[in-house]
Amino acid sequence: MAKGVPHALSGRRPAKPIIRPQRPTAKQAAAAAAEAAQPVAPKVVKAVEAPKVVEAPKVVEAPKAPKVVEVVAAPKAVEAAKPPLHLLDGSVSSLKEALDTGDHDAHLDALLDAEQAGKGRKTALDALSERRG
């Protein structure tokens, strides 16, 4: 086989080099023996403090808001709050009939004031004053 031909082309494996361990010289052996004979000083390790445990702040619950209760007035109570001014829009006879039921006695003062400020009918004012007593 020709020199310089790679082994892949020649079909042969290249020879592995033989590696023999080197023997220490007398001087090196004496130094190693002296070093092994010396006592080994223990390593000094610094003590490390453990990290301090910090407690998490306690969770304080906010005071609960009082429950809000919505008061809903009954429909009749709402009607009682407003004077029935629509009674003054009709005739005096229809006003007298409505007053005779007694349902509007709580609003007689408001009805009287509204009639005086509005149409000012004498018969309506008399009917309201009479019912008021």
Residue 25 maps to a domain: no
Judged against a pLDDT cut of 80, whether residue 79 lies above it is answered with no
55-75 confidence digits (pLDDT tens): 777 877 777 777 777 766 666
Residue 113 maps to a domain: yes
Q: Which are the contacts of 88, defined by CB distance < 8 A and separation ≥ 6?
A: 95, 111, 114, 115, 118, 119, 124
Q: How many residues does the chain have?
A: 133
Q: What global pTM score does this model have?
A: 0.41
Residue 34 maps to a domain: no
Residue 87 maps to a domain: yes
Residue 17 maps to a domain: no
What is the average pLDDT score of the chain? 79
Residue 84 maps to a domain: yes
- Express as a percent the part of the chain with pLDDT over 70: 78
Q: Model confidence at 11, in pLDDT bands (50, 70, 90)?
A: low
Pick from 89, 96, 83: which is nearest to 123 by CA?
Answer: 96
Residue 22 maps to a domain: no
Top mean pLDDT of 38-42, 81-85, 105-109 is at 105-109
What's the one-letter identity of residue 38?
Q
CA–CA separation, 128 vs 98, rounded Å?
A: 11
Residue 126 sits in which domain range?
77-132
Residue 88 maps to a domain: yes
CA–CA separation, 128 vs 122, rounded Å?
A: 10
- The region of weakest confidence among 49-53, 84-88, 108-112 is 49-53
Total domain count, the chain: 1
The CB density around residue 57, as the number of other CB atoms within 10 Å, is 6
Place of tokens 């009479």: 130
